[in-house]
Structure 1
Amino acid sequence: MDYILPETNLVQIKTMEKLGNNGLFVIEPLSPGYGVTLGNSLRRVLLSSLEGAAITSVKIDGATHEFATLPGVREDVVEIILNLKSLRFRMHTDEPVTMKLSVKGPKEVKAGDFDKNSSCEVVDGEAFIASVGKTGKLSLEVVVERGRGYVPVERRRDEKMPLGTIAVDSVFTPVKKIHYEVENTRVGGMTNFDKLTLEIATDGSIDPEQALEKASGILVEHLSLMQKAFTSEEPVLALKVKKAKKEPKEEVEAPVEEKKTVKKPAKKTK
């Protein structure tokens, strides 16, 4: 079967539905089989490669470790940290940002109680953090950083942390859910082209349409690198040694050259 490529002006990306942080997109027509190819590739990139912001460390006044309890606060430190880790942020800088919070009870402490910061903002100000009683007080600060994917706390064991600072697991990916479906679609008299439907849900720090656009760009960049590697004519690392003559003579090594080549797989012989 011959490879079928739809005309460029026929391929469209349509926004079928957009509600809050959820978006439904349709891409069609695609070459037969490419609905799954692109759908799976975009899904992996959306979940692993988009940059997001998350808390990387927490410091709570009166708590020297994560198993401590605070007077006048209903939640223990473990619960408070879990609530803090679920917060989502929108950053306007590439540098780490320290966000501070200090409240007295009685009060339901929420994400909106963090001090305002021009470099970083909380996506959902109503997100719950802790319950502080009449005699209680909660003062804490968190460090928010940019990153990709999931970074476990074990990777930060070697980092020097100030006394009382607790490192936490960080989920940077701004995409919460991605689902895709592939159906047949008609182009002229042919009905075997693919129609790719993508459902994307984000954490609110990025628009679903922006997420799809960025994921597509990342995918194209990596494929372009592969294409350039195949067409590159730069020299390859090679080491040549002059053949020795019959009479004993010291062998001389030729200069080392840099080169890149792509080896073709050897043909099988029967």
Structure 2
Amino acid sequence: MTALLNKLKVEEITHKNKPHTSSFVFRHLPAGMGVVLGNYFRQFLLKYTSGIAPLGVQISDKNGVVESEISALSGVVDPVATPFLVMKLKEVRAEAKKKKEGIFCLELSVENKEKTEKKITAGDFQKDKEVKIKNPNLHLATLAAATSEEKKPKLEIKLYFQKNWGYWEEEEQEKNYLADVENVIAFATDYAPVKGDGVSFQIKSVVISRGKTEEELTLTITTNGVAEPKEALQEVLAISQDAFGSISQLLNDNSKKGEKLILEPTAEAKI
């Protein structure tokens, strides 16, 4: 395989008018390899890259903890307040400045004492020196003005995050990760930083000489901002290197022992 790719060159082209988007141009590929690599990268980027994303939330108003996504939310003026808030919370993007293991929580507590409505954004979460909110201007909710009837509308949020991969249903996350959290609203979460329309590729045939052609693969990646395109592609390459290295080692070990190769999955794939 090394001989096949000994002329390979890769160039990253960033798209200034498209946030979190880059194109990677692979030049001097053997004829027919462009579609193989393009499909391979696309499948891995969509299914096996990891990212940090919200998996559940606990919401409280002045009356206490909100029990479910369809419960009333006092003091919030947005239409269908609780479902709207939950929908917006799922869009909060966080970046861990240092490697964080397991689940971590960001908290928000806002009380409106003013006579005018108060808008709440993702930037209102309490500051954490190890976590950065990537979209602080994201609108979450609007608190009603303080009046004699609703003196001081209040909203408290505990938003739970983790780094994971694949797609997880609400029930799976509540059972596996949030079982010890009371009154939590679990989310269905796709942890991949690259979504369905976030990766595409094009192949161009390049004539080198009479009867000899090469291919040029342009792979365009858009992420949700949790990871940049280059980071997502590097993760795919690291996963591939580890997987193929493990398979190669198994083949070599079994060949020395004269045994048949038996590959057993070590974890259930979440796709």
Which residues in structure 2 correspond to 1:1-270 (within 5 Å)? 5-6=3-4, 8=6, 10-19=7-16, 20-61=19-60, 62=64, 63-75=66-78, 76-91=81-96, 92=98, 93-105=100-112, 106-135=117-146, 136-159=153-176, 160-176=179-195, 177-187=198-208, 191-233=212-254, 260-262=259-261
How far residue 190 of structure 1 moved from its aligned partner, in angstroms, is 5.3
The answer to whether the Cα contact below 8 Å between 1:180 and 1:197 also exists between their aligned partners in 2 is yes
How far residue 185 of structure 1 moved from its aligned partner, in angstroms, is 1.9
Q: Partner amino acid for 1:95?
A: G
- Tell me the TM-score normalised to structure 2 length: 0.80
The answer to whether the Cα contact below 8 Å between 1:54 and 1:144 also exists between their aligned partners in 2 is yes
**Deviates most, 219-228 or 74-83:** 219-228
**Deviates most, 16-25 or 81-90:** 16-25
How far residue 6 of structure 1 moved from its aligned partner, in angstroms, is 4.1
How far residue 226 of structure 1 moved from its aligned partner, in angstroms, is 2.3
Secondary structure, counterpart of 1:228 in structure 2: helix
Q: Partner amino acid for 1:28?
A: R
The answer to whether the Cα contact below 8 Å between 2:171 and 2:186 also exists between their aligned partners in 1 is no
How far residue 187 of structure 1 moved from its aligned partner, in angstroms, is 3.8
Q: Which stretches in structure 1 are left out of the alignment for 5+ residues? A: 237-258, 264-270
Count of equivalent residues: 238
Secondary structure, counterpart of 1:231 in structure 2: helix
Q: Provide, for residues 202-226 of structure 1, a one-character-per-residue CA deviation record: whole Å limited to 9, x for no partner.
A: 1222221122122122123222222
For 1:5 and 1:89, locate their aligned partners in 2 and report how far apart those are by CA, in whole Å.
42
Q: Which stretches in structure 2 are left out of the alignment for 5+ residues? A: 147-152, 263-271
For 2:173 and 2:242, locate their aligned partners in 1 and report how far apart those are by CA, in whole Å.
30
Over 6 Å off, 4+ runs: none
* Sequence identity (%): 23
How far residue 5 of structure 1 moved from its aligned partner, in angstroms, is 5.0
The answer to whether the Cα contact below 8 Å between 1:97 and 1:119 also exists between their aligned partners in 2 is no
Q: What's the RMSD between the two structures over aligned residues?
A: 2.3
How far residue 171 of structure 1 moved from its aligned partner, in angstroms, is 2.1
